[in-house]
Structure 1
Amino acid sequence: MRLFPLVLIAALAGCVGGKGMSGYDANTVFRLIGLDSAPFTARATIQFAEDGRVTGQAPCNSYFAAQTAPYPAFNVENIGATRMACPDLAAETQFFTALQSMSRSEVLGDTLILRNDAGREMVFKAGD
């Protein structure tokens, strides 16, 4: 009986810690389906590598960044992208502006939700 509290503490300690989003299916590609309660019709994706890198496809360009905060916090830094022009540049700007402003993440089944304190929200679904 005295061992139970130690096991419980150890189990709970495993739920908290330094894992970033990479702890959630590093091979999963999430597609943006909603931005600030409105459908996002341009194609944009995000994927989290085990080493903390973030990669994806914005509406026009491929991008990469570093996700530096432990889950559930979210913070992308040093976003880099290819520089191709396309008709969806406005959607791309909207995507990157929103992505850089997010501060919290939540994974619910196949849904990834990124939020910030200002009430902005990005909703992604797993799958291309």
Structure 2
Amino acid sequence: MLKIMPLLIPLAFLNTCAGDESIAGYVDPSAEYDLVEIDGEAINLRATITFPSAGEVVGQAPYNRYFATQTVPYPWFSLDGIGATRMACPEMAAETAFFEALEDMTLSEASGDTLILSNSDGRQMVFVAR
């Protein structure tokens, strides 16, 4: 057993060198993804999401800018510490619905210019890069 230990120690550090395992490591960091539907319904208000660097999430909700941290490994999805500007808007219900949906998402799938966030309850948000 002691002869194997020197071989196992370098393996323990491989994960730290692997790079970003969050969704940010699987999408174009310069791409801005526009929300096109929530739960199968087309969205008429502009909302976006971007992943500019490891674990960083920023975007535009229907009215306010937001930011968060995403650190779980792909394909899992979980936003921590969502913060947003607090500009009053005429359709606050749309803003609230967007953030509630975003917080409910637990899985991500990036394929070409499409990003799909979903959860085990069947909820889904579809974004397309522009």
Q: Which runs of 5+ in 2 are unaligned?
A: 1-17
Residues matched between the structures, number: 112
Question: Residue 20 of structure 1 aligns to which amino acid in structure 2?
Answer: S
Aligned position for 1:20: 22
Deviations 1:57-114 (A, max 9, x none): 0011000000121111000010000000112311110000000010000012100000
Aligned position for 1:3: none
Q: Which runs of 5+ in 1 are unaligned?
A: 1-15
Aligned position for 1:78: 81
1:17 Cα deviation (Å)?
8.2
Structure number with greater Rg is 2
Aligned match for 2:42, one of 28, 39, 62: 39
In structure 2, the residue corresponding to 1:48 is in which secondary structure?
coil
Taking structure 1 as the reference length, the TM-score comes to: 0.83
Identity %: 53
| Conservation of the 8 A alpha-carbon contact between 2:20 and 2:54 | no
In structure 1, the residue corresponding to 2:50 is in which secondary structure?
strand
Aligned position for 2:32: 29
Question: Residue 105 of structure 2 aligns to which amino acid in structure 1?
Answer: M
State the superposition RMSD in angstroms.
1.4
Partners of 2:28 and 2:39 lie apart in 1 by 25
Range with greater deviation from structure 2 (16-25 or 35-44): 16-25
Aligned position for 1:7: none
Question: Residue 58 of structure 1 aligns to which amino acid in structure 2?
Answer: A
